[in-house]
Structure formats: structure tokens, C-alpha cells
Amino acid sequence: MRKQIAAANWKMNLTLQEANELLDSIAEKNIQLSEDQIAVFAVPFPYLLLANDKLKNSKGYLVAAQNCFTKESGAYTGEVSAPMLASCNVGYVIIGHSERREYFNENNFTLSQKVDVCLSNNLKPIFCCGESLAIREGGTQNGYVETQLKESIFHLEASQIENFVIAYEPIWAIGTGKTASADQAQEMHAHIRNVFAEKYGNEVANSISILYGGSVKANNAKEIFGKPDVDGGLVGGASLNASEFGLIIQSLKN
């Protein structure tokens, strides 16, 4: 089975003390993961080392960054590079979250550069894609998401795609309490897998974990994750609560 992943996106939340408490509460739950399951914690940069330390004895619990810069080093005050993240034992990096696309003008080309710099530093991208409400209402979401994938990822070789996680996050469902239905998620995930299959073949397409993101909560995770092409979730708000996120981890397929 391809990896089933519960990924927490803390965004720009929590003080150091709060981060400590949340990581302790999660570790204390001692939720055992199967070989095919992973829990990923995308914490703010200042907490990466702390998170790695707190989760080091929890098998299958990994740490992610929420972003990285396109360049490897140099005079880019305030930025954080992929080699820096790799040196802090970070496994994954969220690339192209809709908030970065919207507030920091990240476009498909910028994101292709970020993807490249992650891969050349052995960091696995959790690549986000997804349409706005206007696009969904216009019925052109499939083509829109396909273009996002093609313009940022399809320059890569098949062997590099194995290191990818895709997160489908309809913008209209992020932080709004409005979730795509499990069927809407399945429909888009199947489309995404098909787009990968056309370019890279079925074997590669079937090996990619495709996560759903957008108001995933403990009370809807099982239904959404139960769909055949949904391999877990990228979770914002609900990941800030240990009990809630614990239940979401336990909703992964096994």
C-alpha cells in the first residue's frame, strides 16, 4: 500500500511554550502507526529542532517545514534554504500552499524552482494544489489543477516523482469549515492520479500519496480518508489540538 499520511500544518500559530505542550501531548498519546502510515508535523521554523527532539522516539512521526526558498544560500535576508532544513533533519517541506500563492505571490514557476531545490537536498515536497471557489463554480477545476501540476512538477523524471506527496486543497474549503464531500475529494484525487499516470505511467501514479486538505476534522476524517484515492490529509486548524489530531491520525487506512 502507498503511504497513508496525516500531516499537521500548524501555520503561523503557537508560542514556544504552546508548541512544547502540544508536542508533548501528541507524543504521550503514543499512537502506534503501521509500516504504511506516517504522521508529519509542519511546524514553524523556530520549532523544527524541538519537534524533531520531542518526536524522536515516536516511530513514523516526522517533521516538515512549511516553506523554503528557491536558492541554496546567499544574501537573502530572512529566507530559509533547503540545505538548512536538511541539516536540521527535516524530511518534508510543504510547497505551494494556497496561502503562499495568495499572500506571497508564489506562482507555478517559482514553485517548480522550490521543488527542484527540495529534491536536490533530499527533502520530500508536499506539493499543494487546488482551485478557488470561482473556478469550482465555473466547473474548470480539473484543468486548473492539472496546469498547476504540469507547470511545477512535470519537468521531473519519473524516479524523482516517487519522492512526492501531493495535497489537494480546494481553497474554498481551507479554514472555512466547508469541506469538500468525500466524493468530491475522490473525484479530484482520481483525476490527479490519472494526470500522473498519463505522464509517468500507472506504477508511478499508484505510488504517490495524495492527501486531501480543507477543514478535515476528527468527525469527517474517516469518511474522506476511506475513499480509494485519498491517502490521508493535510490538516490546519484541527492539528492544533492533540486529541483532535490524534483521532485524525487514527482515521488513516491501515
CB of 251 to ligand PEP, least distance (A): 14
Nearer to ligand PEP among residue 84 and residue 173 (C-beta): 173
The C-alpha atoms of residue 126 and residue 206 are separated, in whole angstroms, by 16
Catalytic status, residue 169: yes
CB of 171 to ligand PEP, least distance (A): 10
Nearer to ligand PEP among residue 59 and residue 178 (C-beta): 178
Binding site for ligand PEP (CB under 6 A): 9, 11, 169, 174-175, 213-216, 234-238
Catalytic status, residue 97: yes
Q: Identify the burial level of 137 via C-beta atoms within 10 angstroms of its C-beta, where 0-12 means exposed, 13-18 middle and 19 or more buried.
A: exposed
Nearer to ligand PEP among residue 64 and residue 204 (C-beta): 64
Nearer to ligand PEP among residue 11 and residue 54 (C-beta): 11
The C-alpha atoms of residue 227 and residue 183 are separated, in whole angstroms, by 8
The C-alpha atoms of residue 207 and residue 86 are separated, in whole angstroms, by 24
CB of 165 to ligand PEP, least distance (A): 13
> Annotated catalytic residue: which of 99, 106, 131, 169?
169
Dihedral through CA 40, CA 144, CA 171, CA 92, nearest 10? 10
CB of 234 to ligand PEP, least distance (A): 5
> Annotated catalytic residue: which of 72, 97, 99, 162?
97
Strand, coil or helix: 165: strand
CB 219 within 8 A of CB 241: no
CB 98 within 8 A of CB 130: yes
> Annotated active-site positions, please?
97, 169
